[in-house]
Amino acid sequence: TYVVTESCIKCKYTDCVEVCPVDCFYEGKNMLVIHPDECIDCGVCEPECPPEAILPDTDPEAEKWLDLNTQYSEQWPNITRKKDAPTDAESHQGEDDKYNKYFT
Ligand code: SF4
Ligand code: F3S
């Protein structure tokens, strides 16, 4: 599976949802997650994300995000259409420690 990681937090560009053939993205207040059981590992979303938040779960950086994607994809609503990013999305790109600062 692929997973959404920290770089998505507060950026939420949603380009990823437009290309997913199985519509397996779910939307929280500050980030999106992928449902690991629904993702078919096609990889098309990965290059669409401007801050490169989407990684295969085989990536060492992705490991700690798999549980979070699993948990919240069961709780958050499905999102299948692109929407406007937050107006301050760009200012949060590349910022450190976004999970501790903003994830609720
Ligand atoms: Fe969807 Fe493919 Fe990305 Fe999985 S890898 S979330 S199936 S676009
Ligand atoms: Fe997040 Fe990137 Fe999608 S910022 S909403 S994973 S395009």
**Residue 103 domain flag:** no
Is 104 a residue whose pLDDT tops 80? no
> pLDDT tens for residues 49-100?
999 999 999 999 999 999 999 999 999 999 999 999 999 999 999 999 999 9
**Residue 91 domain flag:** no
Point out the ligand 1 atom lying closest to the alpha carbon of residue 38.
7
**Residue 39 domain flag:** yes
What is the whole-number distance in angstroms between the Cα of residue 34 and the centre of ligand 1?
Answer: 8
Q: Which domain holds residue 52?
A: 2-81
The strand pair at 2-4 and 25-27 is best described as: unpaired
Put simply, whether the predicted model's pTM sits higher than 0.80 gets the answer yes
Average pLDDT of the chain, as a whole number: 97
**Residue 104 domain flag:** no
Cross-strand partners of 2: 56
| Percentage, residues of the chain above pLDDT 70 | 100
Q: How many domains does the chain have?
A: 1
**Residue 100 domain flag:** no
ipTM: 0.98
For residue 49, give the CATH number of its domain.
Answer: 3.30.70.20
**Residue 70 domain flag:** yes
